[in-house]
Amino acid sequence: LTATFAPPVCVLGLGLIGGSLLRAAAATGRHAWGYNRSPEVVHAARDLGFDASTDLTATLERAADANAIVVIAVPMPAVGSILEAIAEHAPDVALTDVVSVKSEMAAAVAAHGLSRRFVGGHPMAGTAESGWAASTVDLFRDAVWVVTVDDGTDPEVWQAVADLAIDCGSVVVPAESAEHDAAVARISHLPHVLAEALALAGAAGGDLALGLAAGSFRDGTRVAATAPALVDAMCEANASALLVALDETLAVLSAAREQLADGSTADLTRAGFDARARYDQQA
């Protein structure tokens, strides 16, 4: 029943996340359409029966006419030009996004005068793949979807964004933008940097080390396979929170190094074992 009265959804950027959102929103019975700059993607989406266009202006004018929720699903560096177009063609729509760093996104939205009806979002779902071809209807099923609550957040838009996340199968977690960024620096952005360090350490061991590598190396380096440009943009956009998390991690590594050098290794990994147990209890 919710879907019958739910507002239409207009997705800007039909990559892994935006494409999955278009598929999931359409599957709930909502009117949903998308924009992508590349004709190949738009043709591929249309071939499967989805409503998609390469014309950003027309897509936004349609969203304004239909009172749709507009979802920005492009990488952070592309957000500025999309916001410019929204400010020009659909300044009053309910607006959300899926970008993985919330403070910088909120600042960009404010800089374009679009804060009034903006509520940030971040589905904690993804794969190491990207693009429309990797998108799936159930990417968000049972995922956590952060919907931001900051000073001035419009409760109606917040609810509309939360309803969309729930319709896509996710569990909504409200958080302030800065709080979200500090948390994802630790559990998402830091792991990318650590995976890079681990991948380099393994590769430095040459063919023998890589030939012997099994589960630990594969699991620890999995996210190092993500497109570097996307990860770099994410880390750069969350630099101050990531620096805090990196400094803490460097302190842990230094302490481990000292213990190894001194031969005092009785509790080398005890704290990590306990911290992991806390995660297991919560999961």
- Cβ 132 vs Cβ 229: under 8 Å: no
Instruction: Decide if residue 98 touches ligand NAD (CB under 6 A).
Output: yes
- Binding to ligand NAD (CB under 6 A) within 60-79 occurs at 73-76, 78
Residue 198 contacts residue 217 (beta carbons within 8 Å): yes
Among 16, 109, 165, 223, the residue binding ligand NAD under the rule CB under 6 A is 16
Given candidates 9, 10, 11, 17, which one binds ligand NAD under the rule CB under 6 A?
A: 17
Residue number, 186 or 259, with CB nearest to ligand NAD: 186
Q: How near is the Cβ of 2 to ligand NAD at its closest, in Å?
A: 24
CB of 278 to ligand NAD, least distance (A): 24
* 71/93 with CB nearer ligand NAD: 71
DSSP readout, 88-153?
Answer: HH-TTSEEEE--S-HHHHHHHHHHTT-GGGB--EEE----S--SGGG--TTTTTT-EEEEE--TT-
Count of alpha carbons within 13 angstroms of residue 232, beta-carbon side: 4
Per CB under 6 A, 15 contacts ligand NAD: yes
Contact region with ligand NAD (CB under 6 A), list: 10-18, 84-92, 162-170, 272-280: 10-18
CA–CA separation, 211 and 219 (whole Å): 15
Return the closest-CA partner of residue 63 out of 39, 34, 84, 37: 34
Site residues, ligand NAD (CB under 6 A): 13-18, 36-38, 73-76, 78, 98-100, 122-123, 126, 130-131, 234
